[in-house]
């Protein structure tokens, strides 16, 4: 079997408003949890209670994601400022 070789260069990763995107997704998961919570009995009777808990898990993971992405964003800005000043970025 021949080794696969890409025919073109990979594009640069997109950088956009990452923190607001993660916050928006986390809020969406939490709203979905709150909307489904009054109907928990209905979901449980039909064996779909996991839908409610999936929304809560999405909220929890989203909160971790907000923390992680804010740290990443701060580190990127710190490295860019250090490169602009001609210094080596500090390792954490």
Q: Give pLDDT tens digits along the chain (92 positions).
A: 567 777 888 888 887 888 999 999 999 999 999 999 999 999 999 999 999 999 999 999 999 999 999 999 999 889 999 988 876 655 65
Question: Would you state the pLDDT for residue 85?
Answer: 84
Distance CA 59, CA 31 (A): 9
Q: Write the DSSP assignment of 7-39 as a string of letters.
A: SSPPPPPP---HHHHHHHHHHHHHHHHHHHGGG
Token readout for 14 is 């997109």
pTM to 2 decimal places: 0.72
Please choose, from the candidates 17, 87, 29, the residue with its C-alpha nearest in 3D space to the C-alpha of residue 58. Answer: 29
Evaluated on CA atoms 21, 24, 29, 30, the torsion sign reads positive
3-state secondary structure of 55: helix
List CB contacts of 54: < 8 A, sequence separation 6 or more: none
């Amino acid at each position: 079997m021949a080794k696969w070789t890409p025919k073109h260069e990979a594009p640069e990763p997109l950088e956009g408003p990452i923190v607001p995107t993660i916050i928006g997704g986390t809020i969406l998961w939490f709203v979905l949890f709150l909307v489904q919570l009054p109907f928990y009995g209905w979901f449980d009777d039909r064996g779909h209670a996991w839908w409610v808990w999936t929304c809560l898990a999405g909220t929890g993971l989203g909160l971790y994601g907000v923390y992680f992405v804010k740290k990443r964003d701060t580190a990127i800005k710190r490295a860019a400022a250090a490169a602009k000043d001609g210094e080596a970025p500090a390792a954490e």
